[in-house]
Amino acid sequence: MVRNPEIDELIGALRAQGVHSVLAQFTDIVGAPKGKLVPLEHLQDLVHIGAGFSGPSIWGTGLPRMGVRSEYYGRILSHTLQVLPFWPGVARAICNGFAGGEPLETCSRQVLRRQVQRLRDRGLTLWVGVEPEFFLLREQGGQWQPADAQDQLDKPSYDLQSLYRQRGLLEELRVTLKALGFVLQQIDHEDANAQYEVNYKHDEALAAADRFQLFKLSVQAVAQKHGVRYCGMPKPFAHAPGSGLHLHVSLTDVTGRAVMANPEGLLGLSETGLRFANGLLTHADALTALSAPTVNSYKRLASTRSASGTTWAPVWKSIGYNNRTCTLRTVAGRLEWRVSDPSCNLYLALAGLIAAGLDGLDHGDWPLPQACDEDLYERHAQGLPMPPRLPRDLAQALDALEADAPLRVAVGTAVCQEFLSVKRQEWSQYAQHISSWEWQQYATGA
Ligand code: GLU
Ligand code: MG
C-alpha cells in the first residue's frame, strides 16, 4: 500500500495533541453508534482498507458468517477525525461500510449517501436541523426515575429551577459540544419532568446524521460522568410527553438559493416545497417505520393528555402552518417532520425522507396537500372526523413499509429487508412478553 503523505501529516498533528487511538465509528441498523479503538499509527490502513468487524455480529448487515463478505470494513473518513473532549487520547472518525471491497448496501450511511447523491444529481442539497429531546434519569433497583427528584412541576416547560440544578452537567455538555464544533442555539427544559432539549445549527443531511451520532456519544458520556443516564426512549413515562427528534428540512439549489420557501405561497412554500411535502405525506406510513422504529415509539405517537395540554406528538397525516398538532409543520419556508424520535437510525430516517420527497417532486400530477389550520387534538376531542391516522403500532408501520414497494426500492431493497427482519423480531418479542399491566387486568379472570 502506498502511504498517503497527508495522512502521515495528520498522524503527526494528532499525536502532538496527545491522541494515541482512533475510534472508528459506524452505525448499526437500529441506529446505535458502534466501533473500535485502533492505535493511531494504523490510520493509513483505516482510511484505505478500513477497520474490520465481524459482519454477522452487527445488527442488520445481512453478512454471512464466512467467506470474503463476512467482514464488515468500516473505512474511516479522515476529514471527520475529531479529538473527543470526554475520552482522553482518542479521536473519533466516521466510517462508511464496505464488504468484499464494495460499498455495503445495508450500511445505513451508504444508504443515505446514495439518496444525497440523487439530490445532487438534480442540483439539490437537503439541509437538516435536528432537535434532540431526551430525559436525564437515574436507574435504581431496575427502576428508572428522574435524575433530579425535585423536578416535579405539573407544567415543567422552560423550568429554570431544574435547569439551574442541572447546570454542572449542562455546562459540561455545552463546553463539550462547542469543542466538537457544534454551533449551539439553545438548551431548555422540555415539557416533561427530567426532559431536556438541545438545539444546534443545521447541517447538510449526511453531516446532520453524523453529528447526531456524535451528540448522543457526548451526552451519554457527560451524563454518565455526572452519575445519571441519558435516555432517548421515545416515551419513558405514560403520563408525560415523550421525546421526539423533529427534523427541520429545506432544499437549496446549486446557487445556494432556498427552493422550498415562498412567503406568498400556500403554507409559505413554493411549488417545490409543496411537492416535496406531498411525497412525505404520501409515503408517511412507510416513513413512520423508519422514523419511529421501536415498540415504544407508538406510545408517544398517540393523543394523550398532559398537564400542558397534549403530548405534542403527531397522530394524523396532515400539514399545517406553524401547527404542532400536524405530522408536518411548516415554518419559515421549511418543513418540520414531527414523527421521528431519538430511537431512530437517523441515516435511514433521512434516506426515507429524501426518497419520498423526490417521489413527490417527480409527481407534478398529484393534487397539492390541503393546509390544516385547526388544533387536531381539539378536533379529535370533539369527536369530529379526522385525517387518516399514522400507523398505531410498530407492526402496522412495518406492514406499511413492506407494502410501499416504490419507497423500498428507492431507499434500497436490501437495507429495507434487513430492517424489516430485525424489527419484526423486535415486535415478535414484545408481542410474546407478558406485562405487569396484563397481570393486573387478567390474573384473577373475568
Ligand atoms: N415532546 C414532543 C414530541 O414528542 C414535542 C414538543 C415540541 O413541540 O417541542 O414530539
Ligand atoms: Mg421540543
Residues 77 and 95: beta-carbon distance below 8 Å: yes
Please compute, for residue 46, the number of CA atoms within 13 A of its CA located in the half-sphere on the CB side.
30
Query: For residue 197, which atom of ligand 1 is closest to its CA?
Result: 9
- Spacing, Cα 133 to ligand 2 middle (Å): 6
Query: For residue 241, which atom of ligand 1 is closest to its CA?
Result: 1
Backbone angles phi, psi at 138, to 5 degrees: -125, 140
Sign of the Cα torsion 333, 339, 341, 345 reads negative
Ligand 1 within 6 A of CB of 244: yes
Note the pLDDT of residue 205.
Answer: 98
Residues facing residue 330 across a β-bridge: 321, 335
Ligand 1 within 6 A of CB of 242: yes
Note the pLDDT of residue 446.
Answer: 78
Which of 158, 231, 243, 315 is the pocket-test mutation for ligand 1 (most atoms within 8 Å of CB)? 243
Note the pLDDT of residue 88.
Answer: 98
Q: What pLDDT digit, counting tens, does each position of 341-370 carry?
A: 999 999 999 999 999 999 999 999 999 989
The residue whose CA has the least distance to atom 1 of ligand 1 is: 243
Q: Which residue in 125, 96, 113 sits closest to 347, CA to CA? A: 113
Query: For residue 300, which atom of ligand 1 is closest to its CA?
Result: 4
Query: What is the average per-residue pLDDT within 11-26?
Result: 98
Neighbours of 114 (CB within 10 A): 18
Q: Which residue in 29, 129, 150, 61 sits closest to 329, CA to CA? A: 129
Q: What pLDDT digit, counting tens, does each position of 381-419 carry?
A: 999 999 999 999 999 999 999 999 999 999 999 999 999
Report which bound ligand comes closest to the CA of 243.
1
Domains and CATH numbers, the chain: 8-104 (3.10.20.70), 115-431 (3.30.590.10)
- Whole-prediction pTM value? 0.97
Residues with CB under 5 A from ligand 2 (ion): 197
Ligand 1 within 6 A of CB of 74: no
Note the pLDDT of residue 55.
Answer: 95
Please give the C-alpha separations between residue 202 and each of 128, 189, 195, 278, 399, in angstroms, as whole numbers: 5, 21, 22, 23, 32
Q: Which amino acid is at 31?
A: G
Looking at beta carbons, which pairs linking 221-224 to residues 24 or more positions away fall under 8 Å?
221/86, 221/87, 221/176, 222/86, 222/169, 222/172, 222/173, 222/176, 223/136, 223/169
Q: What pLDDT digit, counting tens, does each position of 273-295 carry?
A: 999 999 999 999 999 999 999 99
Residues 390 and 33: beta-carbon distance below 8 Å: no
Q: What pLDDT digit, counting tens, does each position of 301-324 carry?
A: 987 766 666 678 999 999 999 999
Q: What pLDDT digit, counting tens, does each position of 161-185 carry?
A: 999 999 999 999 999 999 999 999 9
Note the pLDDT of residue 309.
Answer: 61
Report which bound ligand comes closest to the CA of 341.
1
Which 3 state secondary structure label does DSSP give 53?
strand
